[in-house]
Structure formats: C-alpha cells, structure tokens
Structure 1
Amino acid sequence: MTAYHFYTASSLDGFLADPDDNLGWLLSRHFDEKGPMNIPDFQATTGANVMGATTYEWLLANGGDAPWPYEVPTFVFTHRELPLVDGDIRFVSGAPAEHRGVIESAAGDRDVWVLGGGALAAAFADDGMLDELTVTFAPVLLGAGRPLFGGARELRLIEHAVNGEFLAGRYAVLGPREA
C-alpha cells in the first residue's frame, strides 16, 4: 500500500520559508547527505512527488541551468498556468483525493513524497492521505513566513536523530486533534 510522507525542513519557530519565500537560512546550514534521516535514502523509497505551485516556482527560480532534480513523476497542485520544464511533471488542481488513483499508480510499489508546502500537506492530511511527517529543524528563528503545517493534528514520534546542525523527527500522523 502506498504511504504518503511530508518530508521537509523548518525553522525552530515553525516556518518553511521566510516572508519572501526565501530559503537562504536553510541552505546555509550543514546537513550530512549520508547522515541519519538523510534525503537521498528517503528519496530511494519514493515513486512519485507532489508539491504546490510555490514550491515548484521556487525550484525553477533557484535551479539555475540544472535539469529538473527529480526522476520520478511530480504532481504540481496549482490553479494557474506555470512554465513546464523537461521532466515528468503533471499539473493538477482540486483536492488531493481527486487524484489519489493516478498518483498511486505513478508511484508504483513505492511511496509518495509531499514536498510542500504546509497548506498542501494539510490538504493531504484532511483527505486521509498523509501517513508520516518528517521535519528537520534548523537552528534559526525566522519570526514570520510560510507555516510548517495548517490545522491541528495528533502525531506520534517514530524516530529522531541529529544530522549536522539539524534536529530531525519522524512522526506518524494519527488524525485531527480534537479541542
């Protein structure tokens, strides 16, 4: 069965990006690509990616002349026209549940990586399509920006580690948090 994972980085005060959608604070920090809870090992388990339009646009704006960084199909949730680059990129709109079949078919026998943002991850959780949340916390406080996640959820810690300057935690997503 396909599992959905939101794997992301956050400031300690819970922001994915600063108010200008800048990730300079993140990219200036040391993270060991061979250390615990690293991205390459995680990516080896994924057969499809999903992301929002802002994440897609950031990747295009900051990728330079490099080719599209993902070899697996990528579904971009958007309500507007976006430029298409070489790669298996599929633009979709609507609720995640409307696309579950095609996303899982594209992933094959592997899992789905929800790259971002936090609002999209929350929409996947709302549709019962978010199994795990992995956050690598950087030692920085941004004060404002794009929030890590939308909505109240119950989580259970599965794993934790220190990688470079980051404190990483992997959590099972249990469901909505009742007041």
Structure 2
Amino acid sequence: MSRTIYLTASTLNGFLADENDSLAWLFAVPGGDSGGESFDRFLDGVGVLVQGSSTYAWVLAHEDLVAHPEKWPAYYGDRPTFVFTHRALPRVPGADIRFVSGSVAEHWEAIRDAADGRDIWVVGGGDLAGQFLDAGHLDEIVVTFAPAALVAGKPLLPRDLGADRLTLIEVEQRGPFAEVRYRVSAP
C-alpha cells in the first residue's frame, strides 16, 4: 500500500527556500547537494513524485533541464511526476511530467494509481504538502534540518498541526544535518 511522504530539507527556522524560491542556501552546506545512501534507499521505494510549480521551476532553471534533459534521471529517474500549477511551464523532454491544476482530492486517484503500490513523494513545496494534509492524504513528514537559517522565505508547512497528530518515528544525524521522521495521524 502506498504511503504519501513529504520529504524535504529545511533551515533550522523552518524555511524550504528563500524569498526568491532559491535553494542556494542548501547547496552551500557541505553535503547539501547529495542525499546519500539513505536518500537512495528512500527513492527506491518511490513510485511517483508530486511537486508544486515553484519547486519544479527552480530545479528546471538550476539544472538547465530543458537544454540538458539527460540530467532529469539523476533527480527523479523515470518515475511519473505530477506538477501542480496554474501557469504554463516548460516540459523536460523525455520525462513523464503531468501538469495538473486544482485540488489534491481531484487528482488523488491518478496520483495513487501512478504510484502502482509504491510510495508517493511530495517533493515540495510546503503549501502543496499542506494540501495533502488537508485532504487526509499525508502519512509521513521527513525533514532534514540543515545548519542554516534565513530571515524570510517559503515555510516548511504553513498549516496548524498539533502534537496530537504527529508521532516521532526516527531521528538520525546525517553529517551536519539532523533528519526527523514523523507519522501523521488522521484528525
């Protein structure tokens, strides 16, 4: 059975990206450009990815993926990727990218079916993860906290979510990072 997992990196004070949607702060941290063996194991269990338009646009521009589509597999392999967006975005040639708009609930069956029994990775951003939470389709939150802080930016999870719905499963040091895994229960 598929689990929906929001796995992301965050600053110590809870920002995913800076105010310009950049992840440059993360890549400035030694090891921030690689997820390591644990990330490779996680990715092996993923059947489909879901991301918002800002996340997709940043990766697209940062890696120049339209001009260099051969880099796409290094990020996501050949997995289907759903991009929630209200704007026209370029497609990475050869990648299975499915642009959708509307609510998570409207697209849930297609996302779950595309996962084919494997996990669903909510790549980001925080508001999209919050929409999965709102729809009752978020099972785990995995945050890798980096030794960095920003004065402003995109929040990790812009929702009210109390301790009564989160169960700590695991905490692990990964070089200069601290990874925290929570199970999310229904309201």
TM-score strictly above 0.5 = yes
- Which residue pairs with 2:16 in the alignment? 16
Paired residues for 1:119-138 under 5 Å? 119-138=127-146
- Say whether the 8 Å CA contact 1:133–1:172 is kept in structure 2: yes
Alignment RMSD: 1.4
Counterpart pick for 1:67 among 66, 71, 85: 71
Three-state SS of the structure 2 residue aligned to 1:82 is coil
Write the distance in 2 (CA, Å) between the matches of 1:67 and 1:163.
25
Three-state SS of the structure 2 residue aligned to 1:7 is strand
Write the distance in 2 (CA, Å) between the matches of 1:167 and 1:60.
27
Where has structure 1 moved over 6 Å in runs of 4 or more? none
- Which residue pairs with 1:143 in the alignment? 151
Q: Deviations over 1:62-87 (max 9, x none)?
A: 11335323220000000111111120
Three-state SS of the structure 2 residue aligned to 1:129 is coil
Counterpart pick for 2:173 among 154, 158, 162: 162
Q: Deviations over 1:23-60 (max 9, x none)?
A: 1110122336445xx32111111000000000000010
- Which residue pairs with 1:98 in the alignment? 106
| Structure 1 alignment gaps of length 5 or more | none
- Which residue pairs with 1:85 in the alignment? 92
> 2:180 is matched by which residue type in structure 1?
G
Write the distance in 1 (CA, Å) between the matches of 2:21 and 2:35.
24
**Offset at residue 175 of structure 1 (A):** 4.2
- Say whether the 8 Å CA contact 1:155–1:175 is kept in structure 2: no
Write the distance in 2 (CA, Å) between the matches of 1:27 and 1:39.
16
- Higher share in helix: 2
Question: Equivalent pairs: percent with the same residue?
Answer: 48
